[in-house]
Amino acid sequence: MQRFFTCCLSFYSPANTANMFELEDDFTCSICLEVLNEPVSVPCGHSFCLACINKYWDQAEVCKCPQCREIFNPRPHLRKTTLLAEVMEKLKMKQPHSRMAKHFDGSAVIVCDFCSGEKLRAVKSCMTCLTSFCEIHIKHHNEIVAWKNHKLVNPTANIQEKLCKKHQKVLEIYCRSDETCICSLCVTTGHKDHDTAQPEMERATKQIQLGATLTEIKQNIEKKENQIEDITQIIQRVKISAVTEMNKYEKSFAELVLLIEKAHKKKKEKIQEQEKREVGKAEKLLDQLKKEITVLKKKHAEFTELSQTDDHIHFLQIFPLLTVPAEDDTLTNMITIADFSSEEVKRELYCVKEYLEELYQAELNNGTSKDSIGSDRKINSLANEGVIDVSKTARKDSEGELCPSSIPNSPS
């Protein structure tokens, strides 16, 4: 195993950086997906970070390998694999750092893979070596005659993405037919006779298209922002209008309720007046009838006394003088039952009920109205719109009383 790890460490060189990344994947913890930290091996042979495997087993119902699912009973006692840990430390020291690093101002920069200690900013990336170089190390790179023809580009991250996956050569040609970047070998194989171009030329063409697209997107953003502003203003106007209309209707309905209460009070007073008047007439009749009964009783006594006398001469002398009071038919005709459900009251109540129903239906069909409810202006407005018939609508008379203008007789 010692020889294996030694071979792993000697495997790195500037020309096989891609293989170095693959080697790093072989020493990755399958739980956290990072390079092994404090590596330990379980009985089945798989390796994990000490903290990762302990946490995994603490949360699991049974103790098993996260990779092969082999169950261990009892739970194995884990110890740090010292040799593997040393290899991981050396591997971390030797692995390239062409991945993105943080600049002092917080921005992401690409650093040199060959700097030891503090990493300097890379000035070039070699697509042949798959490595990034700072200003100092790029000079050493260029001094090597065998590397003179290497393709140098501006510092770039993820160099592997710039290589052809099939031929492992630099992507330096654009295939318009397939809309993909290809290498020089692809031109003579899978992309033969295709329409190709240099990346710089194709970039210039597509840059113009991108500019037009950006302009269109910007215009759409401005258009939608204007729409948002318009809609926001509409919402504010709607809210203000709603509050205004609500206040109007609160006031109008309060007036309507007050008007109905006033009409109710007036009708109640009229009924009470009618009751008092009718009761007074009846009581007057009662007094008159009581007086007549007294007179009749007196006559009845006189007639009874006369009928019992034995003096025939006295009977004949007195009889012509006795008279019976005439029956007063007018009093009998005046005795009637007062009708409190007069046609006038029924018609007015019917008028109020019909007005409220038609007003409610008008509001459902036409939404809110700008005129005050319960006023002549409101009634005329609805009449002009053809919503209600004025001839069937309750109006206010000069006394503030609801009365019908022209209403069909309500059912008795």
Once rounded to an integer, what is the mean pLDDT over residues 167-184?
89
Once rounded to an integer, what is the mean pLDDT over residues 210-236?
95
Whether the CB-CB separation of 20 and 35 falls below 8 Å is answered with no
Domain boundary (293, 318, 338) is at 338
In this structure, what are the phi and psi dihedrals at residue 122, rounded to the nearest 5 degrees?
Answer: -75, 145
Nearest to 141 by CA among 117, 173, 113: 113
- Quick one: 334 and 240 in the same domain? yes
Secondary structure class of 109 (helix, strand, coil) = strand
Q: What CA–CA distances, in Å, run from 93 to 83, 97, 273?
A: 16, 10, 113
Q: What CA–CA distances, in Å, run from 98 to 19, 106, 131?
A: 14, 17, 7
- Quick one: 358 and 314 in the same domain? no
* pLDDT above 50: residue 49: yes
Question: pLDDT for 130-153, tens place per residue?
Answer: 888 998 888 888 888 888 888 888
* pLDDT above 70: residue 386: no
- Quick one: 376 and 268 in the same domain? no
Which of 57-71, 137-151, 336-350 has the least mean pLDDT?
A: 336-350
- Quick one: 267 and 292 in the same domain? yes
Residue/partner pairs of 223-226 with CB below 8 Å, 24 or more apart? none
Against a cut of 0.75, is the pTM above it? Answer: no
Secondary structure class of 182 (helix, strand, coil) = strand
- Quick one: 327 and 347 in the same domain? no
**Sheet architecture: strand order including 180-182:** 180-182, 173-175, 196-197
- Is residue 242 in a domain? yes
Q: Which residue has the tokens 């922002």?
A: 225
pLDDT over 90 percentage in the chain: 20
Q: Is pLDDT larger for residue 397 or for residue 303?
A: 303
For residue 50, how far is the Cα from the chain centroid? 48
Label residue 25 by pLDDT band (50, 70, 90): low
- Quick one: 177 and 288 in the same domain? no
Nearest to 344 by CA among 262, 392, 407: 407
Whether the CB-CB separation of 366 and 245 falls below 8 Å is answered with no
Q: What CA–CA distances, in Å, run from 288 to 278, 282, 384?
A: 15, 10, 60
Q: In this structure, what CATH number is given to the domain that contains residue 50?
A: 3.30.40.10
CA angle (153 as vertex; 151, 155 as ends), nearest 5:
135
Amino acid identity at 375: S
What single-letter DSSP state applies at residue 19? H
pLDDT at 392: 41
Mean pLDDT of the chain: 77
Once rounded to an integer, what is the mean pLDDT over residues 23-43?
77
- Quick one: 274 and 303 in the same domain? yes
* pLDDT above 50: residue 27: yes
For residue 122, how far is the Cα from the chain centroid? 50
Domain boundary (80, 95, 110) is at 95
- Is residue 110 in a domain? no
Which of 123-137, 156-170, 214-228, 336-350 has the least mean pLDDT?
A: 336-350
pLDDT at 276: 92
* pLDDT above 90: residue 210: yes
- Is residue 226 in a domain? yes
Whether the CB-CB separation of 75 and 62 falls below 8 Å is answered with no
Q: How many helices (H) and strands (E) does the chain have?
A: 11, 12
* pLDDT above 80: residue 96: no
Label residue 374 by pLDDT band (50, 70, 90): very low
pLDDT at 1: 44
- Is residue 91 in a domain? yes
pLDDT at 264: 84
Domain boundary (95, 130, 149) is at 95
Dump the DSSP string for 235-279.
Answer: HHHHHHHHHHHHHHHHHHHHHHHHHHHHHHHHHHHHHHHHHHHHH
Whether the CB-CB separation of 182 and 173 falls below 8 Å is answered with yes
Q: Is pLDDT larger for residue 408 or for residue 270?
A: 270
pLDDT at 324: 75
- Is residue 29 in a domain? yes
* pLDDT above 60: residue 383: no
SS3 annotation, 141-166: HHHCHHHCCCCEECCCCCHHHHECCC
Distance, in Å, from the CA atom of 127 to the CA atom of 151, rounded to the nearest integer, reads: 6
- Quick one: 61 and 173 in the same domain? no
Angle between helix axes 17-26 and 82-94 (nearest 10 degrees) is 150
Question: What is the number of domains present in the chain?
Answer: 4
- Residues of the domain holding 170: 163-197
- Quick one: 85 and 6 in the same domain? yes
* pLDDT above 60: residue 20: no
- Quick one: 260 and 372 in the same domain? no
Secondary structure class of 410 (helix, strand, coil) = coil
Whether the CB-CB separation of 132 and 111 falls below 8 Å is answered with yes
Relative to beta strand 180-182, strand 196-197 is unpaired
For residue 101, how far is the Cα from the chain centroid? 42
Once rounded to an integer, what is the mean pLDDT over residues 30-56?
85
- Is residue 331 in a domain? yes
- Quick one: 8 and 83 in the same domain? yes
pLDDT at 335: 59
- Quick one: 317 and 359 in the same domain? no
Which of 28-32, 59-63, 152-156, 386-390 has the least mean pLDDT?
A: 386-390
Whether the CB-CB separation of 175 and 194 falls below 8 Å is answered with yes
- Is residue 328 in a domain? yes
pLDDT at 181: 93
Q: In this structure, what CATH number is given to the domain that contains residue 169?
A: 3.30.160.60
Question: pLDDT for 247-298, tens place per residue?
Answer: 998 998 898 888 889 888 988 898 899 889 989 988 998 998 999 899 899 9
Question: pLDDT for 285-333, tens place per residue?
Answer: 899 899 989 989 998 998 898 899 898 888 888 888 877 777 766 665 6
What lies within 8 Å, CB to CB, of 99 at 6+ separation is 157, 158
In this structure, what are the phi and psi dihedrals at residue 236, rounded to the nearest 5 degrees?
Answer: -65, -45
- Is residue 117 in a domain? no
Q: Is pLDDT larger for residue 372 or for residue 280?
A: 280
pLDDT at 123: 92
